[in-house]
Structure 1
Amino acid sequence: MATLVLTVVGGIVGGPVGAAIGAALGQQVDAAVFKPKGREGPRLADLKVQASTYGQQIPQLFGTMRVAGSVIWATDLIERRTKSGGGKGRPSVTEYSYAVSLAVALSSRPIRAIRRIWADGNLLRGSSGTFQERCIFRWHDGSEDQAVDPLIASAVGPGSASAFRGLAYAVFEELELAAFGNRIPSLTFEVEADAGGVDAGLVGDALLGEAGRCAGEWPVAGYAASGDRARDALAPLFEVDGTRLVSGPDGWRLAPVESGADALALADFRAVARSEATQDLVERQRAPLAALPGSIRLRHYEPERDYQLGQQASQVAGGGAREERIDLPAVLPAASARALAGRLAAAASDGRETLVWDADLAALALPVGGKLAIGDGSIWRVAARHVRADRLSLELKRHQPVPVADWPAAPGVPVRPPDWPDATGIVRLFDLPNLEVPPAATARLLVAAAGSNDGWRGADCWFVPGPDAEPVPLGTVRPALALGELAEPLAAASEFLFDAVNALTVTMVNPSTMLDSVDDAALLAGANRAMIGDELLQFGAAEPTAPTTWRLSRLLRRRAGSGGMEGHAAGTPFVLLNDNAGLLLPESAARAAESGAARLQWARRGDMTFADMAVPAGGSARRPLSPVHGRTAADGAGGILLSWRRRSRVDPGWRDEVDLPLGEAREVWRITLAPPVAGVAAWSSTASSLAIAAETVAILPPGTVAEVRQLGDFGLSLPLRIPLV
């Protein structure tokens, strides 16, 4: 634009010559305004942000680093649909889940291993190597002979797939995205490129491709080298290490100023041996103290905080108000970074004073970058030398030795997700009694699960109706609040409302499980409901007796007409019902389980190892409640009159002086003798009573008990036992 405008203006003012001058000026203006921005190496934060931009630099990693990398290949989102429900006038529910396959470039230098992986800041893969979400994971070390990844080859074709030789990258195959809002999460990787720590010498030799050319002094746990040139990649590390270019008989090399031989004497490098004279000093310059920074702030990666950004600062003695910030893309512990910041602050005045010293040609043997002692005993660095005729002038920089000291420092409070070891998961099935109104028409089968630590994130479950049937996905069961088993046998319930005689001792799967005690008001309102085998009970007092063992007392037993008449053996499963972590089998699965051949398959989330267990036929929720308050009375003629009070599935609670609805299509009772008596058949009654004739009573052996069961729409209730003789 400026070229066109100035060409026209120049032509109007000065003719052809003016037009040429205007065009030249316009070209310079356009070049200054529209020139492309210079490319810079990545800053500290760039290593923590995942990108997929063309031209994005991929650093060369040294030591152990945490990097985000660049997405170099990915598929479209893989959509899966799961349809559940429907039937009997109810709408079906279709749920969608998504997965993705992608490859992430990590280092343009070969690596040794990939350790932990974070997704959106949370651990996707812990130090145990187990993934928290289901996927297939591979990685390639970046060697020059690595093969093409099979997934990429199958997607784009073997002839079009790149092996990305010389580039270390990781591949996720069908990574589940439900936990990340059905989007690709921000991934960061802990990458080990070298077995131990590194220094400026190792990094410099690797980038320059010549062993022994560089030397380093300050060790770092990891370093990310990036830039258009080796100079750009090495500059941050060499700056903090005090590395200078040093000449010598074997050529040029890079080495810290503090390292190497002692200072050489200038008097030893003269054609005629003599000491330095004042007239040899040509020029002296000294920068003011205000030109020095007031403080040095070093930013780095903190290994104790999962490689989060950390910073350490140190004050410069006599410095000005300016703060100098140094971004070092390296991994340093807090104490090492604090010591390095203190060293940089102490060395801030190094080179503040400059001398130009006159010497003869024999001083050409002095190494540039080396240390030099002049007549007054002061130490200087040879910064440059200039030859004019037979004379040589040396540019010297004041060298101030920096003592290496330990500065105590703390990394700060780490903010990290817990890295749990692999947990052992347990899944249990419970046949629940009816706990709803109206009464259930199908069995209520509860799937409960727990892991041996808080890192266990649940299990994915499938229902298999029969031996040759296709598995039906049920979803994910989350860890229960409390799942365990009886540590000691539990006797049968007492006849009273509160069982103050017995107590149960349970061992929990997860040691961090906590149980609470409640008062009687909360207990009668439904608190602390739990299943022990087929019995629903409640407990009022919970007392820990060991890290994983609890003693539960003040019990309400056989709630909602559940089992437990004979007590329970040690090892009987226990689960607390006061949370919604359990997975209730849908009605269709509960009906299919009535055959007795159904099975439940489950796998820990993120795992491909399946386990299965038999699904009970169930029926507790459909079973009528057993009658209560059985009584016997003599009829005056040698016979016995039995009576009892019924209970209803419609309302399992107890209300005095209220005749609850039956909840079944008809009222029928079945009465049998235990043990059976020859010649006496079972009775059937349509009322809550039964008269046994005298001739029958006469043949009953001692200890005979009448068992009264209600005949419901779906089966018989548990018995009420009434002693007869």
Structure 2
Amino acid sequence: MATLVLTVVGGMVGGPMGAAIGAAVGQQIDAQIFKPKGREGPRLADLKIQASTYGQQIPQLFGTMRVAGSVIWATDLIERRSKHGGGKGRASTTEYSYAVSMAVALSSRSIRGIGRIWADGNLLRGSSGTFKERCKFRWYDGSEDQAADPLIASALGIASASAFRGCAYVVFDELELGAFGNRIPSLTFEVEADEGGVDAGLVGNILSAGSARCAGEWRFAGYAASGDRLRDALAPLVEVDGVRLMSGPDGWKLTPPTSAGEPLALADFRERGRSDAPGDRIEHRRAPLSSLPGTIRLRHYEPERDYQLGQQTSRVAGGALREERIDLPAVLPATSARALAQRLAAAAADGLETLLYRADLAALALTVGHVVAMDDGSRWRLAGRTVRASEILLELKRHAPLPVADLSAEPGIGVGAPDWPDAVGTVRLFELPNIGSPAASAPRLSIAGAGSNDGWRGADCWIVPWAGAEPIPIGMVRPARGLGELAEPLGPGSGALFDLSNSIEVRLANPAMTLESVTDAALLGGANRAMMGGELLQFGVADVVGAGRWRLSRLLRGRAGTECDAAHPAGTFFVLLDDPALLALPEPLAELTESGAAIFQWAPRGGARLTEVGVPAAGRALRPLAPVHGQVRPDGIGGVTISWVRRSRVDTGWRDHIDLPLGESREAWRITLSPPVPGIGPWESATSAWAIDAAELAAVPPRHMIEIRQAGDFALSPPLSLPLT
């Protein structure tokens, strides 16, 4: 467009000569406006964002790198439906979970292994190789003879499935998506392509099919090469390593200047007896200091911070205000990156001066790219050479890099997820008494789980109602706040007083768990409740005695009607109840455990090992509490009057002169003799008293006991035994 316009304008102003000038100027303008965009090499962001774009380049990895890769095959979301509850007039709950199967390409060069895997920045697979979410995982090293993945082959057909030979990739088979909001997470992978570090020489020789014409000085822990041409793939390494094109007896090579040895004296490459003449310096040019950047900012991947982006800056002496940023898709520690940034800043002035020098035929022996020393001691790098008959013109660039001073640097504080070793999981299913109102209408079972470290992510649980039945999913139990076992036996105690004579030695599953002391007021208000075997107790004082070991004292024993008159052996489980992580078994499932034939199953989150535990017959929460304060008094006419005080399973506190709530639909009592006597009893009463007349009492043998039980809506209470005298 500019060519046409300026040609016409030039012709109108200056005739044919003006039209020619206008056309030339217009061509220059059009060339700048419509010139094609330059090609760029790899950028740091390309390795951090997972993509599935058709035509996306897959980098060639060297050393050890963290990359996101490209999704090359995936299924639709796999939906699973599970229904819970329902029956007996209760509404059912339907839950949906999703999974996905997919393949992700990582490197267009063969690799040695896959290390850690991150999903949305959190560890999906740690260094131990265990996945945090359930899936099947396979990886292929990118060899030229690898077979097609069986999952892809079954989905597309063996004739249509590609083996992706020459491309290293991984396959996830039904990766659970519940932890990622039921969407495909952004995945990044730690890929080991070579053992040890790499340099520009190794990368260049491999990319150029082993021509052995590249050499490098700076070593990197990893590098990602990509680009449309070999030049694009090597450009970042060549730029930061100071690699120059040098000629020699074996031809041209890419090598850093330092590998060529000491500078050569230019006087050794002149004709014998000839000295440096002023006429030899044809032209001397010096670029202004404003052409230099003021700051060089080097961005790289920081291995000490899980390959997060790091950057080091260095000032250029005498440079302008502008900043030059270098994106290096390589893994480099902070100290090495700072040293490299300072070397780049020190070498920024290299080539600021240009000298055009006349030499003779002896200069043909000089190596282009080498550093030469002039008679005045100055050093110049031979950038080019022109031969004109017997005259040689040398283009020399000033070589005066500044020394590197400080090489120390801090990598900064990493924000990566902790990489925990594999944890040993512990899951307990235990029965609770009826705590609070309303009264339970089904057994109350809870599940607590914990791991040996904070890396344990929970467990999936199922109930099998009877042998051979289909497992019913319960849900996932999260890590509990306090779960362990008795380290030493605990003797019996009293449920009516503070137990100051006994203490509990507890070994917690995770040493990071802590227990807290509370005041008596908080203790009487229900704080620090715990199940220990079949006993519900509370503790007021918690003292740490070792890693994961606690001594609990100032105890309230036998809470909510649980027995405390028997000793607990070492190894009895201990669970802190004031914890939202406990998983309560729904009532319809809890009803299935009353027979004692149910089986409890659990598997760690992301694992496949299934553990089965038998569930004993449950129903403690349905039983009324045993009555107390029993009395047997003579009635004065040969018989006795028996009285007792009722307790309630919905209000288990000790309260004087207060009528506690019944907790049942009706009040009913069953009175029996122990051992039974034929023809006498049992009796039933609707009040907390019963009278035995003289005739019945006379028929009772000596040393017999009378047992009193409350008849609840679902079960009988434990007996209150009194001597009948």
CA RMSD of aligned residues (A): 2.9
Alignment check: 8 A CA contact 1:282 1:357 kept: yes
Q: Distance in 1 between matches of 2:278 and 2:231?
A: 39
Q: Is the 8 A contact 1:109 1:166 kept in 2?
A: yes
Cross-structure match for 1:368: 368
Shift of 1:554: 2.1
Count the aligned residue pairs.
Answer: 709
Cα deviation code 1:465-490 (max 9, x no counterpart): 11111111111011111111112222
CA offsets 1:472-523 (integer angstroms, 9 cap, x no match): 1111011111111112222223152433332222111111111111222222
The answer to whether the Cα contact below 8 Å between 1:494 and 1:501 also exists between their aligned partners in 2 is: no
Paired with 2:394 and 2:184, the residues of 1 have a C-alpha distance of: 60
Instruction: Give SS of 2:233's match.
Output: helix
Which whole-Å CA distance do the structure 2 matches of 1:696 and 1:318 have between them?
A: 120
Secondary structure at the counterpart of residue 317 of structure 2: coil
CA contact (8 A) 1:294 1:320 kept: yes
Contact 1:245 1:255 in 2 (8 A): yes
Partners of 1:719 and 1:137 in 2: how far apart? 58
Residue 565 of structure 1 deviates from its aligned partner by 3.4
Q: Which runs of 5+ in 2 are unaligned?
A: 13-19
Partner residue in 2 for 1:136? 136
Answer yes or no: is 1:222 the counterpart of 2:222. Answer: yes
Is the alpha carbon distance of 1:566 and 1:706 closer, same or farther for their aligned partners in structure 2, counting shifts above 3 Å? Answer: farther
Distance 2:221 2:326 in 1: 18
State the match for 1:515 in structure 2. 515
**In 2, distance between residues paired with 1:377 and 1:34?**
48
Question: 1:17 corresponds to which residue?
Answer: none
| Paired letter, 2:683 | S
1:521-540 aligned at under 5 Å gives the runs 521-540=521-540
1:708 deviates by 3.4
Q: 2:683 aligns to what?
A: 684
**Which residue matches 2:377?**
377
Give the letter for the 1:684 counterpart.
Answer: W
- Distance in 2, matches of 1:696 and 1:306, equals 87
**Higher mean displacement: 630-639 or 595-604:** 630-639
Letter in 2 for 1:379: R
TM-score (ref. length: structure 2): 0.92
Change (3 A) 1:216 1:705: farther
Alignment-mate amino acid for residue 479 of structure 2: P
State the Cα distance separating 1:159 from its structure 2 match.
0.6
Q: Who is 1:193 aligned against?
A: 193
1:707–1:720: 8 Å Cα contact kept in structure 2? yes
Q: Does 1:351 align with 2:351?
A: yes
The answer for the alignment partner of 1:147 in structure 2 is 147
Question: What letter matches 2:172 in structure 1?
Answer: F
Look up the equivalent residue of 2:223 and give its one-letter code: Y
- In structure 2, the residue matched to 1:542 is 542
Q: What residue number does 1:569 align with?
A: 569
TM-fit CA distance, 1:119: 0.4
Q: Which SS does the other structure have where 2:526 is aligned?
A: coil
Matches within 5 A, 1:312-351: 312-351=312-351
CA contact (8 A) 1:563 1:718 kept: no
Moved more, 515-524 or 706-715: 706-715
Alignment of 1:283-322 (within 5 A): 283-322=283-322
Corresponding residue number in structure 1 for 2:410: 410
Q: Distance in 2 between matches of 1:653 and 1:672?
A: 27
The residue that corresponds to 2:57 in the other structure is 57
Shift of 1:401: 5.2
What pairs up with 1:646-661 in 2 under 5 angstroms?
Answer: 646-661=646-661
Partner in structure 2 of residue 709 of structure 1: 709
C-alpha deviation, 1:672, in angstroms = 5.6
Q: How does 1:415-564 map to 2 (within 5 A)?
A: 415-564=415-564
Give 3-state SS (helix, strand or coil) of 1:594's partner: coil
Contact 2:495 2:559 in 1 (8 A): no
2:246–2:369 contact (8 Å) kept in structure 1 = yes
Counterparts of 1:536 and 1:458, CA distance in 2: 25
Greater mean alpha carbon deviation, residues 325-334 or residues 345-354: 345-354
1:647-687 CA-to-partner distances (Å, cap 9, x unmatched) read 1234334443232343335444345667x488897743414
Quote the Cα distance in structure 2 between the aligned partners of 1:86 and 1:26: 82
Q: For structure 1, which runs of at least 5 residues remain unmatched after alignment? A: 14-20
CA offsets 1:69-124 (integer angstroms, 9 cap, x no match): 11111110011111112222222111111100111111111111110000000000
Separation in 2, partners of 1:387, 1:29: 35
Partner residue, 1:209: 209
| 2:382–2:395 contact (8 Å) kept in structure 1 | yes
Q: Which amino acid aligns with 2:617?
A: A
Which has the higher mean CA deviation after the structures are superposed, 161-170 or 281-290?
281-290
Distance 1:125 1:696 in 2: 78
Give the Cα–Cα distance (whole angstroms) in 1 for the partners of residues 681 and 550 of structure 2: 45
In structure 2, C-alpha distance between the alignment counterparts of 1:27 and 1:164, rounded to whole Å: 47
Taking the TM superposition and a 5 Å limit, the aligned residue runs for 1:244-263 are 244-263=244-263
Using the alignment, how far apart are the partners of 1:696 and 1:28 within structure 2? 131
Over the matched positions of the two proteins, sequence identity in percent amounts to: 68
For residues 680-701 of structure 1, what are the alpha-carbon distances to aligned partners after superposition, in whole Å with 9 as ceiling and x for unaligned? 9774341423456786699545
2: CA distance, partners of 1:722 / 1:282: 126
Partner deviation per Cα, 1:305-363 (whole Å, 9 max, x = no partner) = 10101111111222222222111111111111111111111111122222111111221
**Match of 1:99?**
99
Change in Cα spacing, 1:269 to 1:596, as seen in structure 2 (3 Å) is same
Deviation at 1:198, TM superposition (A): 0.7
Report the CA distance between 1:372 and its aligned residue. 1.4
1:114 equivalenced with 2:126 (yes/no): no
Match of 2:16 in 1: none
Per-residue CA deviations over 1:185-222 (Å, capped at 9, x if unaligned) read 00001111111011111111111112531111111111
Of the structure 1 ranges 711-720 and 112-121, higher mean CA displacement relative to structure 2 is found in: 711-720
Distance in 1 of aligned mates of 2:240 and 2:227: 17
Distance, in Å, in 2 between the alignment partners of 1:499 and 1:393 is: 103
Aligned-pair CA distance for 1:706: 5.1
Q: Is the 8 A contact 1:275 1:375 kept in 2?
A: no
**Aligned match of 2:626:** 626
Q: Distance in 1 between matches of 2:385 and 2:507?
A: 82
Q: Which residue of 2 aligns with 1:594?
A: 594
Conserved? CA contact 1:639–1:697, under 8 Å: no
Inter-partner Cα distance in structure 1 for 2:460 and 2:36: 53
> Which amino acid is 1:720 matched to?
L
Match of 1:269 in 2: 269
For residues 599-625 of structure 1, what are the alpha-carbon distances to aligned partners after superposition, in whole Å with 9 as ceiling and x for unaligned?
011100011111111112200111111
Please report the TM-score for the alignment, with normalisation by the length of structure 1. Answer: 0.92
Partner Cα separation in structure 2 for residue 475 and residue 83 of structure 1: 11
Q: How far 1:38 sits from its partner (Å)? A: 4.8
1:297 Cα deviation after fit: 1.2
On the 8 A contact 2:42/2:233 being kept in 1, the answer is: no
What is the alpha-carbon distance in structure 1 between the residues aligned to residue 722 and residue 240 of structure 2? 91
Letter in 1 for 2:258: E
Distance 2:135 2:581 in 1: 24
2:156 aligned partner, one-letter code: V
Go from structure 1 to structure 2 and tell me whether the alpha carbon gap of 1:276 and 1:484 turns closer, same or farther (over 3 Å shift).
same
Give the Cα separation in 2 of the matches to 1:369 and 1:36. Answer: 31
Asked whether 1:604 is paired with 2:587, we answer: no
Contact persistence 1:668–1:684 (CA under 8 A): no
**Greater mean alpha carbon deviation, residues 545-554 or residues 221-230:** 545-554
CA distance in 2, matches of 1:558, 1:73: 60
Kindly indicate whether the alpha-carbon contact (under 8 Å) linking 1:680 and 1:696 is maintained by their aligned counterparts in 2: no
CA–CA separation in structure 1 for the residues paired with 2:36 and 2:474: 57
Contact 2:63-2:195 at 8 Å conserved across structures: yes
1:643 and 2:643 aligned = yes
Q: Distance in 1 between matches of 2:699 and 2:502?
A: 36
Structure-2 separation of matches of 1:184 and 1:88:
39
Amino acid at match of 1:121: G
Q: Residue 16 of structure 1 aligns with which residue?
A: none
Residues 495 and 557, structure 2, Cα contact 8 Å, conserved in 1: no
Following superposition, the deviation at residue 174 of structure 1 comes to 0.5
Could you tell me which amino acid in structure 2 is paired with residue 562 of structure 1? Answer: T
1:398 corresponds to which residue?
398
Q: What one-letter code is carried by the residue in structure 2 that aligns with 1:474? A: I
Tell me if structure 2 keeps the 8 A contact 1:532–1:573. Answer: yes
Q: Aligned-pair distance for 1:270? A: 3.1
Secondary structure of the structure 2 residue equivalent to 1:420? coil
Kept in 1, the 8 Å contact 2:334–2:410? The answer is yes
Secondary structure of 2:220's aligned partner: coil
